[in-house]
Amino acid sequence: MAGITETEGKILLAIFKGIDDYYNANSLSKIIGISRIGAMKILRKFDKMGLLERKRIGKSITYKIRLNDDYARKLIAYLLADEANMQKRWKEEFKGLFKGERIVLLFGSILGNYGAARDIDIMIVMGESEIKDVNNALADRQTILSKKIHAIKLTSDDLHNSITKKDKAMIDIIKKSIVLYGQDKYVEVIKNVTSF
């Protein structure tokens, strides 16, 4: 996709996931672990590509992803899918949830150290009529997995409202989650609640 390096992808995802934060070259360099100059070059590249919105706050220029742009949305969805591919085990474990317009996110300590994690945190965004199917799929997985599944089940409207109200727990989940399924739909939901 347009010659995006791994580091550039990390920067785009950091900006996208930081829905209540304002990132500049300095803050992104610290998050990603590159020089401030390196981050500035990458941000200039993305700005020229039309992927970013800019806003001056004091002496600093801050950035958000231009999610009203079709290419930017598709690129972010691709990067989220690529990130999920690193979680092959969890994609396989929860593939029974991957249907239609659902969004499935994995978050919490399970992403860091399986052995130290007490449970498996997952969030499923679905239609109200899908609760029985989702509960059955989760019950099926629970019979196989040794760790307890802690599932948050909500609708797109619930997710939208939680983000709009700046629910700290939800914002934290978004920043630290991996989107296992429904990346395109997820980007659409986030598009409606993040901008300057």
Residue with tokens 């990603």: 32
pLDDT tens across 118-169, in order? 999 999 999 999 999 999 999 999 999 999 999 999 999 999 999 999 999 9
pLDDT digits (tens, 9 = 90+) for 5-26: 999 999 999 999 998 888 999 9
Residue numbers of the domain that contains 34: 6-65
Asked whether residue 142 is domain-assigned, the answer is yes
Q: How many domains does the chain have?
A: 2
Residue 23 is given by DSSP the state: B
pLDDT value of residue 76: 97
Dihedral Cα 55, 158, 86, 33, nearest 10 deg: 30
Do 90 and 187 lie in one domain? The reply is yes
Whether residues 34 and 125 share a domain: the answer is no
Domain presence at residue 76: no
The pLDDT tens digits of the residues spanning 69-83 come to 999 999 999 999 999
- Say how far apart CA 54 and CA 97 lie, in whole Å: 37
Q: Indicate whether 70 belongs to any domain.
A: no
Q: Which residues contact 106 (CB under 8 A, 6 or more apart)?
A: 87, 90, 94, 120, 121, 122, 177, 178, 180
* Mean per-residue pLDDT of the chain: 93
Please state, in angstroms and rounded to a whole number, the distance separating the CA atoms of residues 36 and 31.
Answer: 11
